[in-house]
Structure 1
Amino acid sequence: MEDPSPFDAQSLLVESETLDAFLAELAAEAKRRMPGANGCGVTLERDGRPYTVASAGSSAPPLDEMQYTIDDGPCLEALRHDKEVYVTDMAEETRWMPYPPFAVDRGTRSSLSLPLKERHGMAGALNLYAERPGAFAEADKERLRLIAAQASGALVLAVRIADAQQSAADLQATLRSRTVIDQAMGVIMGQQRCGADDAFAFLRAASQNRNIKLRDLCVQLIQNVTGEPPQEGAFQPRK
């Protein structure tokens, strides 16, 4: 069966609002373009720990998790050794025990795993599972190779975008906290007739003595003085 349109990972990334959405669409597209597959999982590994970050179909999650549990299997071999791993028939497979009989018990007889190239401390694999032996022909393998090659580059970009979004969120939280502290410092400067450095030192000492976070102490102080919660400014990125 011919693909309705060429796979375009960059367009898929642009159309996805989050990293999770991109990975979910990647798994769904890979499964859709492999007629013999009944499940697809996307595995990423960071700091030596693999995770199924997205899946399509019900077969992938338990098969992936079993491999993580025994720390072995076609998915992890593809990921860690940067090579394609095709299992023609799980019923005849002798590697990665006890994974093959586990897969057979759950109705999976063949699988195809391709690495997502390791970059910036991250490695991954795209895993397809099928109910019948020898489900993936050479044309299917070539199709998945093209998908994995495109997905590798798009995935690195997606992770960078997600990291940047998290950094922006962290910056907003920091600036909101800073605004509250500045308001509390203003209160102390007025009450104690002192400078900014002395006001901050006063608040920090009170925070340590009461074993309470500085920001929480400042919120309490402002509410006690004004009867209202502090006005928290927010960082707005440029459009």
Structure 2
Amino acid sequence: MDDNGDAPLVDALTSLHSLLLGAPRLEELLAKLADVAAKVVEPPASCGITTRYDGQPRTIVSSDARASVADEYQYSLGEGPCLEALQQGVVVDVADYSSERRWPRYGDLAREAGVKASIALPLIVDGRSIGAMNLYGYDRPDTFSAADRERAAAYAEQASTTLAFAAGAVRQSQLSEQLEQALASRSVIDQALGLLMGQQRCDARTAFQLLRKHSQNNNRKLRDVAGALIVRHTGRPPVDSRAFESVSSGEAPPGGDGEQGPSRDGDTRT
């Protein structure tokens, strides 16, 4: 390709790299991934990005509604170029839907939707297909030139890395959320144990055994039993573990204004 032919790809990769450096939200990153992909070819196409979710193909983002519709037709029928790209890890090119016969049912729907040509490119990470980038042309048959295909393939390679990054971010977010929930539960349980130790004049091990026994006898989660115990004996809900983090960082505890007065802390009864 000459310098002018490279311009759409250079612009696309520059735009994507700039976005990554800005530490975007996941939704913003995925939306940009599809929007930029649609502009890699000339004239711009519609783009849908397919990946597997719970074992089923799903469009996680698209540049417009037309791409989503074209993708969904394939999922519902179980046939089509994006599914072959996803499942077989190969580029699937359809130059002219008016003469396309590989997927009879999908071909009919694609023609009715105005699709003239398409190209589906696998998104490969560590030798495994994790998705497909689906470009749809609506202007004319043979929409995509050889230069378009080269640019799309180069962009798909970058998109694969970006999609893997996004998937890792989701897993990390889920892990962080689970950890935060675990820490919150631990904080509530510790507060309840402190109450029991004071009331029963016992050590932490004995207090925990009492709390666990009550949890098992009533078929309730340990955290819920601990929270109910705190409310019953103090008249207040458990202290959010984030309050301790806020205090240590000099911020106001969640739900408060940072001030302490008699109405909140003057009552020392247990």
TM-score of the superposition, structure 1-length normalised? Answer: 0.89
Q: Which residue of 1 aligns with 2:13?
A: 7
- After alignment, is 124-133 or 208-217 more displaced? 208-217
Max Rg structure: 2
- After alignment, is 46-55 or 166-175 more displaced? 46-55
Task: Supply the distance in 1 between the matched residues of 2:157 and 2:80 (Cα, whole angstroms).
Answer: 22
Task: Supply the distance in 1 between the matched residues of 2:127 and 2:191 (Cα, whole angstroms).
Answer: 41
- Give the secondary structure class of the aligned counterpart of 1:91: coil
Instruction: List per-residue Cα deviations over 1:19-73 (Å, max 9, x = no partner).
Output: 3321110100011232334421111125532111111112111211121122221
- The answer to whether residue 229 in structure 2 is matched with residue 221 in structure 1 is yes
Q: Which residue of 1 aligns with 2:190?
A: 182
Report if aligned partners of 1:13, 1:158 keep a CA contact under 8 Å in 2.
no
> How far 1:205 moved relative to its partner?
1.9
- The answer to whether residue 65 in structure 2 is matched with residue 58 in structure 1 is yes
Distance 1:115 1:70, change over 3 A: same
- For the aligned residue pairs, the C-alpha RMSD in angstroms reads 2.2
Match of 1:231 among 223, 239, 243: 239
TM-score of the superposition, structure 2-length normalised? Answer: 0.80
- After alignment, is 140-149 or 65-74 more displaced? 65-74
Distance 1:121 1:219, change over 3 A: farther
* Percent of residue pairs identical: 41
Q: Which residue of 2 aligns with 1:35?
A: 42
Distance 1:157 1:64, change over 3 A: same
Distance 1:48 1:119, change over 3 A: farther
Match of 2:30 among 4, 11, 23: 23
> How far 1:12 moved relative to its partner?
2.9
Unaligned runs of 5+ residues in structure 2 are 246-270
- Give the secondary structure class of the aligned counterpart of 2:241: coil
What are the residue-to-residue correspondences of 1:89-238 with 2, within 5 Å? 89-119=96-126, 123-131=130-138, 132-234=140-242
- Give the secondary structure class of the aligned counterpart of 1:53: strand
Unaligned runs of 5+ residues in structure 1 are none
Total equivalences in the alignment: 236
> How far 1:167 moved relative to its partner?
1.3
Report if aligned partners of 2:12, 2:39 keep a CA contact under 8 Å in 1.
no
